[in-house]
Amino acid sequence: MTTENCIFCKIISGEIPATLVAESTHAIAFNDIAPKQPVHVLVVPREHHSNVAELAFENPEALIDLVQLGSRVASELSTGSFRFTFNTGEAAGQTVFHAHGHITSRTPKN
Ligand code: 5GP
Ligand code: ZN
């Protein structure tokens, strides 16, 4: 998939709206459109990479920044118990081929 028809690239450029939760130098965090847990935030690198493995090799600094952003969001929105999931590959459930981590938690802070 090219960056032109990538839904997360369009969210990053502002072409498609999303509920922004937090942002950092290399990543943004926004609410998942179809939340599966009381807390369900996507953490997405500003640069297009197909999945987290490619991001790790192509821009490790951006991956560290993304994990720090996700951890910050998780500690702000949850009691501190959360999952940080990167579905990688179609057979593993990846549907959007722009790297992203899911922050999910059953225990929101409030
Ligand atoms: P994946 O299945 O690739 O790991 O996760 C993709 C996630 O992106 C899904 O949880 C899906 O609900 C979410 N998603 C897909 N399209 C949009 C969108 O346009 N806006 C937002 N906020 N989330 C989206
Ligand atoms: Zn993209």
Pocket probe mutation, ligand 1, options 28, 36, 42, max atoms within 8 Å of Cβ: 42
Tell me, yes or no, whether 40 lies in a domain.
Answer: no
CATH number at residue 13: 3.30.428.10
For residue 4, the model assigns a pLDDT of 82
Domain count along the chain: 1
Are the C-beta atoms of 39 and 77 separated by less than 8 Å?
yes
Q: Which domain holds residue 78?
A: 1-29+62-110
Tell me, yes or no, whether 36 lies in a domain.
Answer: no
65, pLDDT greater than 90: yes
Tell me, yes or no, whether 15 lies in a domain.
Answer: yes
For residue 56, the model assigns a pLDDT of 98
User: What does each C-alpha distance from 47 to 1, 38, 76, 99 come to in angstroms?
Assistant: 14, 28, 25, 9
109, pLDDT greater than 70: yes
Tell me, yes or no, whether 42 lies in a domain.
Answer: no
For residue 3, the model assigns a pLDDT of 81
For residue 110, the model assigns a pLDDT of 76
Question: Would residue 48 show up in a list of annotated catalytic residues for this protein?
Answer: no
Tell me, yes or no, whether 35 lies in a domain.
Answer: no
pLDDT, tens digit, for every residue of 24-49?
999 999 999 999 999 999 999 999 99
Q: Which of 102, 3, 6, 99 is nearest to 60 (CA)?
A: 99
Beta partners for residue 78, in sequence order:
108
Tell me, yes or no, whether 47 lies in a domain.
Answer: no
53 lines ligand 1 (CB under 6 A): no
